[in-house]
Amino acid sequence: SQTIHQWPATLVQPVGSPLSLECTVEGTSNPNLYWYRQAAGRGLQLLFYSVGIGQISSEVPQNLSASRPQDRQFILSSKKLLLSDSGFYLCACLGHRNTEAFFGQGTRLTVV
Amino acid sequence: AQKITQTQPGMFVQEKEAVTLDCTYDTSDQSYGLFWYKQPSSGEMIFLIYQGSYDEQNATEGRYSLNFQKARKSANLVISASQLGDSAMYFCAMTWGSWGKLQFGAGTQVVVTP
């Protein structure tokens, strides 16, 4: 089965600083990849998804961007963080049979 | 546009009782997949069960079963014999069409009491 590595687990960043969260996948090739953000006690907001290298679909216009430089690497970035960017960020991958989505452990981002 | 709706923000259930979590969806696609996930307070996303739109039988995985009513566009999760460890947030999700987007509902917080 697929394994997703997502780091760091926690991050505290000042307002206006850049952000780079990385997610890598093992155990599959050409997966669909996803970035979600979750506010405390709330649902998962889909930010970006990618069905292939260099193919990024953005769901919410915002201060963030995503890139997929390699088949199994998905990066979430920001040039200047806002307080509203705080949250729990999850990377996910749809399994090769599309019957299960695998998740990373998440990054808890606090912008101060 | 496709949409996933979970109308129960939270519920209490007594240990050993069964609980049904509601999920309705809206899509014009004939091909889609439905998922349920559990998220404990640790934040980990735990896969529970999957149902494909062409699957004729309801999916079951241990104490979890999915009550799939295609005409009503509902995919309710039934947890039998609730345990204290079932206390968590539960999410319904859907992917459809070309299976690109994976969209989640707002979630239902379940608290199991002794």
Residue B112: strand pairing partners: B13
Q: Is the pLDDT of residue A70 over 90?
A: yes
Structure tokens at A75: 């990066």
Confidence grade of residue A97 (pLDDT, cut at 50, 70, 90) = confident
The CA-based diameter of chain A, rounded to the nearest angstrom, is 41
Between chains, do B44 and A106 touch, taking CB under 8 Å as contact?
Answer: yes
State the pLDDT at residue A2.
Answer: 84
How far is Cα B113 from Cα B60, in angstroms, rounded to an integer? 24
Interface test with B, best of A88, A96, A99, A102 (most B CBs within 10 A): A99
Rounded Cα distance between B80 and B11, Å, is 15
Tell me whether A30 touches chain B (CB under 8 Å): no
Rounded distance between C-alpha atoms, residue B23 and residue B83, angstroms: 21
